[in-house]
């Protein structure tokens, strides 16, 4: 199995050093490593040059942002699976890729667990994803691109949306899930990442428009109901009951819809 590790960086020499140390310490070397630097002026370029013998391809030039840089990496990558390990992100330990290679990997998206750390590298929390993904999971949750292996064929149809600032990872995963690409849980820790710079306000503002783009209108209305009820199966069951019985529909308007409204506001 050939893996492409794609690292993007911009003026984060300290974080890049952590990522480099993590990657070059892996017990297996059967991967290519691509670094896309956005024209850093903090010594990152010189650091990349120093470790160039470990790097398959690298470039240091201005780009149009995070997702533009990630897409640039995708276009030159040749591996069967891609792992996006950006500057500051680290693999869980030196055996991470060796253990992943021992797994029989056939699915389009293989998502593992991650450790959230602070800027000093101290563990803050553990990030575990569910065994089975549903679209409703992506409201308030997400997969860690640092801990997710994505098959190259996924990018033949979809790329990261460069118009978003921070939610294009979620947009990509929702598109793949909605279009019936295969997902599988890899119940092992893959990465450590620092999330102290994430702006949740921006994330949710972007998220609303993203869902509108991805899902057709009818599906979007169902999805809103699902999110409000927080359970796909329960939402479908209730909708079927309501739609099949006039008395229940009338009763719903009086009692259930106000509750639904309040839940949606939370």
* Burial of residue 46 (number of CB atoms within 10 Å: 0-12, 13-18, 19+): exposed
Residues 6+ apart with CB under 8 A from 51: 20, 24
199 vs 18, residue with greater confidence: 18
Q: Single out the residue of 190, 197, 211, 93 nearest to residue 143, CA to CA.
A: 190
**Distance of alpha carbon 110 from alpha carbon 11, whole angstroms:** 30
Of the listed ranges 52-61, 109-118, 188-197, the one predicted with least confidence: 188-197
Segment 77-118, tens digit of pLDDT: 999 999 999 999 999 999 999 999 999 899 999 999 999 888
Task: Give residue 248's pLDDT.
Answer: 46
Q: Yes or no: say if 249 and 242 are a contact pair by the CB < 8 Å rule.
A: yes
Q: What angle do CA 44, 48, 54 make, to 5 degrees?
A: 155
4 pLDDT higher than 60: yes
Quote the pTM value: 0.79
Residue 227: its pLDDT value, please? Answer: 53
What distance in Å separates the CA atoms of residue 161 and residue 168, rounded to the nearest whole number?
6
Give per-residue pLDDT as tens, 136-174.
787 767 888 999 999 999 999 999 999 888 889 988 998
CA atoms in the 13 A half-sphere facing the CB of 263: 14
Write out the H or E segment, with its range, that includes residue 100: helix 96-102
- Note the pLDDT tens digit of each residue in 226-241: 555 444 444 455 555 5
Please say whether the beta carbons of 34 and 63 come within 8 A: no
| Contact partners, residue 254, CB within 8 Å, separation at least 6 | none
Cα distances from 103 to residues 41, 97, 185, 243, 254, in angstroms, run: 40, 10, 12, 45, 53
- Reduce the DSSP state of residue 92 to 3 states and report it: coil
Residue 252 backbone phi and psi in degrees, to 5? -65, -40
Nearest to 196, CA basis, from 140, 118, 121:
118
CA torsion sign, 70 to 160 to 196 to 198? positive
Give 129's pLDDT tier (boundaries 50, 70, 90). Answer: confident
The structure tokens 């927080």 sit at 230
pLDDT band at 76 (very low <50, low <70, confident <90, very high): very high
Task: Please state the rounded mean pLDDT for residues 209-224.
Answer: 63
């Amino acid at each position: 199995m050939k893996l492409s590790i794609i690292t993007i960086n911009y003026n984060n020499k300290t974080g890049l050093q952590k990522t480099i140390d993590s990657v070059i310490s892996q017990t297996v070397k059967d991967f290519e490593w691509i670094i896309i630097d956005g024209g850093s002026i903090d010594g990152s370029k010189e650091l990349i040059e120093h470790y160039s013998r470990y790097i398959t391809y690298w470039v240091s030039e201005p780009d149009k942002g995070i997702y533009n840089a990630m897409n640039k990496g995708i276009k030159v990558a040749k591996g069967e699976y891609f792992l996006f390990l950006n500057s500051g992100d680290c693999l869980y330990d030196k055996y991470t890729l060796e253990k992943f290679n021992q797994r029989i990997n056939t699915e389009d998206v293989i998502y593992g667990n991650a450790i959230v750390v602070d800027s000093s590298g101290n563990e803050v929390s553990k990030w575990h994803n569910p065994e089975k993904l549903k679209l409703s999971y992506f409201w308030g949750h997400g997969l860690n691109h640092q801990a997710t292996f994505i098959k190259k064929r996924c990018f033949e149809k979809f790329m990261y949306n460069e118009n978003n600032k921070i939610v294009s990872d979620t947009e990509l995963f929702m598109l793949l899930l909605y279009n019936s690409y295969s997902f599988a849980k890899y119940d092992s820790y893959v990465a450590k990442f620092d999330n102290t710079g994430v702006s949740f306000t921006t994330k949710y503002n972007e998220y609303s428009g993203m869902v509108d783009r991805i899902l057709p209108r009818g599906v979007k209305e169902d999805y809103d109901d699902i999110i409000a009820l927080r359970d796909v199966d329960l939402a479908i069951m209730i909708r079927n009951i309501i739609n099949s019985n006039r008395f229940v529909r009338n009763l719903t308007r009086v009692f259930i819809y106000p509750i639904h409204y309040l839940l949606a506001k939370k």
